[in-house]
Structure formats: structure tokens, C-alpha cells
């Protein structure tokens, strides 16, 4: 295992923010495809962390960002489902930019919190992060990311599914099965909530 892999496993939240800083390299903004490619072959878990984390901050309120991150999660979850070794990203994501000024403000506020969270994450119940469980995690992540397209129209509506995707990504990255099991359990509530929202909208339209 190389040094970068250890960093992702030991401090998954902070390593995601560090990767974004590296991709920025002093520019005014960076596109999502560049950020994603920076993680290389270790990107499945960290990218779920990135998407979940960003959707829980004011970045998630920027126009077009929730659907874009939803597409990223779907693309990666499908590849994880089929055990693809080398991640692939659609070129269209180069059009989605993360402004450096907004990112800097978010980082200043969340980094101390992320450091505390990283300190309590560790490998536990690893069976819940590998093998057949990755199939379950992938399918749940796909369904949750689809909700971004609906909930993204509501201010901070994507926070709940984003938090679960964050937990699942952390679990995969840090090999912490406790986090993945918590995320899978919480996803049931989101599924029921989104289902009720869609049902009410259909009833109102009839």
C-alpha cells in the first residue's frame, strides 16, 4: 500500500480537501473532472466523500451543482458495482466549475470539524465495506444520488441524502463498516421521505 493510499484511509475527509487544493493550484476555479482524476485509481470512496461533503455546504446551493454531483456519484457507483479497476469520468464534467473563493470560505469553517471526525474513524467490521456489501452500497448510492435531481430544487434539500453518501464513502475509504451500516440504515428514512414527497406532489397535481 502506498503513502497516498494510507493518507486516504487514515484521514479521508482532510485528504479530500487537500486534493481539491492541489487541483486548484492557485487558479480562480477548478472543474470537477480535474479534481476527480487527481484521486487516480483510489477514487471510488473519496469521490463519494467529496460529493457528500460538498452537498452539505453552501456549495450545494449553487445552480447546477446538485445534479452534477448526482451524476458523479451515479457514474462511480455503477463502476464500483461492476468492480471496474480504473475509474472513468464523462468529459461534460469539465463544464462544472468550483469557485476558489467560495471553496476557501467553506474550508476555513469545516476543516477543524473534519479533523475531529477523521480522528475517530478507523477500520472496523471490514466485511461491511467489501465484497457483496459493495453491491448494496453501490445500489443505495445510485438511488440516493437520483434524489439530488428532485431535492436539489429545495434549499439544502440534498443534505440528508448527501450525509448518507458521505458516510458510505467514508466507510469504503477508511474500511469502517460501522459507518457503512449506519449509512445504509439511515437511507431507508430518506427513501420513505422522498417517496412521500413525490406521492404528495402527484396527488396535488391530480
What mean pLDDT do residues 11-27 have? 73
Q: Which tens digits make up the pLDDT trace of 103-114?
A: 777 777 777 877
Length, in residues, of the chain: 206
Model pLDDT, residue 165: 93
Model pLDDT, residue 146: 87
More confident residue, 151 or 6: 151
| Cα–Cα distances in angstroms (integers) from residue 126 to residues 123, 132, 171, 175, in the given order | 6, 12, 9, 5
pTM of the model: 0.76
What mean pLDDT do residues 156-174 have? 88
> Which of 52-61, 66-75, 142-151, 178-187 shows the lowest mean pLDDT across its residues?
52-61
Q: How many CA atoms lie within 13 A of 160 on its CB side?
A: 18
What mean pLDDT do residues 50-61 have? 79
> Which of 56-60, 110-114, 194-198 shows the lowest mean pLDDT across its residues?
194-198
Q: Which tens digits make up the pLDDT trace of 129-155?
A: 888 898 999 999 998 988 888 777 777
Model pLDDT, residue 58: 75
Model pLDDT, residue 138: 92
Model pLDDT, residue 111: 79
* CA atoms of 193 and 191, how far apart (whole Å): 5
What does 127-186 look like in DSSP terms, one character per residue?
Answer: GGGSTHHHHHHHHHHHHHHHHHHHHTTSTTTTHHHHHHHHHHHHHHHHTBHHHHHHHHHH
Model pLDDT, residue 8: 58
Model pLDDT, residue 42: 60
More confident residue, 155 or 171: 171
What mean pLDDT do residues 69-75 have? 86
Q: Domains of the chain: which residue ranges?
A: 3-205
| Cα–Cα distances in angstroms (integers) from residue 200 to residues 159, 169, 193, 203, in the given order | 20, 31, 11, 5
Name the residue among 78, 84, 100, 88 with its Cα closest to residue 33: 88
Model pLDDT, residue 86: 67
Q: Is the pLDDT of residue 5 over 50?
A: no
Amino acid at each position: 500500500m502506498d503513502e497516498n493510499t494510507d493518507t486516504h484511509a487514515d484521514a479521508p475527509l482532510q485528504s479530500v480537501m487537500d486534493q481539491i487544493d492541489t487541483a486548484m493550484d492557485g487558479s480562480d476555479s477548478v472543474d470537477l473532472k480535474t479534481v476527480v482524476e487527481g484521486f487516480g485509481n483510489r477514487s471510488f470512496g473519496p469521490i463519494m466523500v467529496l460529493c457528500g461533503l460538498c452537498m452539505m455546504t453552501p456549495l450545494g446551493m449553487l445552480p447546477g451543482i446538485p445534479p452534477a454531483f448526482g451524476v458523479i456519484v451515479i457514474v462511480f457507483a455503477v463502476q464500483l458495482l461492476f468492480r471496474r479497476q480504473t475509474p472513468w469520468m464523462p468529459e461534460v464534467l469539465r463544464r462544472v466549475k468550483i469557485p476558489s473563493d467560495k471553496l476557501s470560505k467553506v474550508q476555513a469553517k469545516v476543516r477543524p470539524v473534519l479533523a475531529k471526525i477523521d480522528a475517530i474513524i478507523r477500520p472496523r467490521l471490514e466485511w461491511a465495506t467489501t465484497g457483496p456489501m459493495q453491491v448494496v452500497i453501490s445500489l443505495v448510492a445510485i438511488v440516493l444520488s437520483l434524489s439530488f435531481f428532485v431535492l436539489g430544487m429545495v434549499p439544502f434539500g440534498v443534505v440528508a441524502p448527501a450525509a448518507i453518501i458521505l458516510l458510505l464513502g467514508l466507510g469504503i475509504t477508511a474500511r469502517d463498516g460501522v459507518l457503512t451500516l449506519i449509512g445504509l440504515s439511515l437511507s431507508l428514512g430518506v427513501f420513505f421521505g422522498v417517496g412521500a414527497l413525490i406521492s404528495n406532489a402527484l396527488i396535488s397535481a391530480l
